[in-house]
Structure 1
């Protein structure tokens, strides 16, 4: 019998982005979770199309959003991030067993919302005469997932609470640039993404603190240790403190960020 976790792996190894996003959004609710099942990896994780070509982050050309090409490059980059975000949510569902059913239900809900974000950005790209895959992209977000594949606490600490939380900080200035460039449709999509990502990071914060409590760990001290062990990206401001507070970061953590 298919379970939520086994179907999450099926979606994760799907190579076609449109199929991955569409099938993820259409996935049924109320499935048997299979929280304690041992699920063997299969296929290539994650499933990826032949394009975009993946390059180092520093190799991506910086272009002005005040040109059509520059806006297309920005939207393409965001679409790639959202495709990675689908994979990250699906991966955490199948890879880590033994969590409460709510954990898997919430991450599958996150995968559905990330799939919507990808589709919105993909469709907006079409108005700029570009398809997803036409431009190069980088693989930095999945690199963090790969480094934390054996440790659920590290995965939650360093993906939703670090890499994805950076999107909370980046969204307002990106939106401002798009508005100034006259791309109001693109700016509206960023509003949707920011709204949803606050909830996604909040889920990460909830389960990070839950795991720390279960293990008798101090969340702040443990985060610093995990960030060092797994070579996480350094936190750099300016921070969207309002969004981070709404996403469940503690006043103690926000105070440390502000120093």
Structure 2
């Protein structure tokens, strides 16, 4: 059995249950798989969630100010679940697309995919308990477009895994506070899920940091972000970013613009 061929099947399967089963089989069979780095690369060209979700521009998607009702909490949970589902694709595509790297690279991003699947499954369960299913709300394809735009290894690690995913660390405290202020009966379970996501996302961004540095690209991290017109959030989660490999000096420079 060949690793990239098996992974390709996972990537191109749109049914969520089947996809996760294929991934679990791949993950549990790693020791017996051969790595043929010459295997033809056939990445997805449209979002794998397109058959399930209506896709719109982010500015066309309304976000509830409070999340006390099932409908508002459903919309909120759906937006977070969609980010996690998109992150599965990011991890799988990195594992599949970039070849002739140390075995540790492939193990790292399979671990990330596994944890993103766990995050999504937890959020999807909470979403279902609110009376909704993944696909019931409009989504955007920002992360998928960033993935398509970065077939170059250093750019992918910088923009997506060290840049955009770190933006999730910055947003987490605000998202947490929004849930904390809610009177919804699932509040405490959702807060627990957000704590797990923050913990795991720190390790994910750390992997992005590690492999971006491995690339030894002569451009600066800041220059790569500028190349893709990526704007950092106004407020950075300094504590979390320091745990991921950012230095205080770099964060100060990034905040200066």
* TM norm structure 2: 0.90
For 1:131, the equivalent position in structure 2 comes to: 133
Residue number among 220, 229, 243 corresponding to 1:222 in the alignment:
220
Is 1:2 the counterpart of 2:6? The answer is: no
Q: SS state of the match for residue 160, structure 2?
A: helix
> Quick check: 1:17–1:83 contact (8 Å CA) kept in 2?
no
Aligned Cα root-mean-square deviation (Å): 1.8
For 2:63, the equivalent position in structure 1 comes to: 62
For 2:213, the equivalent position in structure 1 comes to: 209
| Pair 45,56 (structure 1): closer, same or farther in 2 beyond 3 Å | closer
> Quick check: 1:72–1:125 contact (8 Å CA) kept in 2?
yes
> Quick check: 1:16–1:49 contact (8 Å CA) kept in 2?
no
Is 1:185 the counterpart of 2:189? The answer is: yes
> Quick check: 2:124–2:133 contact (8 Å CA) kept in 1?
yes
Counterparts of 2:20 and 2:190, CA distance in 1:
19
Counterparts of 1:10 and 1:45, CA distance in 2:
15
Q: SS state of the match for residue 31, structure 2?
A: coil
| Pair 206,166 (structure 1): closer, same or farther in 2 beyond 3 Å | same
1:35, distance to aligned residue in structure 2 (A):
6.2
Counterparts of 1:244 and 1:204, CA distance in 2:
12
Q: For structure 1, which runs of at least 5 residues remain unmatched after alignment?
A: none
1:65, distance to aligned residue in structure 2 (A):
1.6
Residue number among 95, 98, 104 corresponding to 1:102 in the alignment:
104
1:251, distance to aligned residue in structure 2 (A):
2.7
Counterparts of 2:144 and 2:107, CA distance in 1:
22
For 1:148, the equivalent position in structure 2 comes to: 150
1:200, distance to aligned residue in structure 2 (A):
0.3
1:77, distance to aligned residue in structure 2 (A):
0.6
For 2:116, the equivalent position in structure 1 comes to: 114
Q: For structure 2, which runs of at least 5 residues remain unmatched after alignment?
A: none
1:42, distance to aligned residue in structure 2 (A):
6.3
> Quick check: 2:163–2:225 contact (8 Å CA) kept in 1?
no
For 1:166, the equivalent position in structure 2 comes to: 167
| Pair 256,124 (structure 1): closer, same or farther in 2 beyond 3 Å | same
Q: SS state of the match for residue 10, structure 2?
A: helix
> Quick check: 2:2–2:34 contact (8 Å CA) kept in 1?
no
1:67, distance to aligned residue in structure 2 (A):
2.9
For 2:39, the equivalent position in structure 1 comes to: 38
> Quick check: 2:53–2:137 contact (8 Å CA) kept in 1?
yes
Deviations 1:157-189 (A, max 9, x none): 010111111110111111111121031111111
Q: Which runs of 4+ in 1 moved over 6 A?
A: none
| Pair 239,254 (structure 1): closer, same or farther in 2 beyond 3 Å | same
Counterparts of 2:243 and 2:53, CA distance in 1:
34
Deviations 1:72-126 (A, max 9, x none): 1111011111111111100011111111110011001100000000100000001
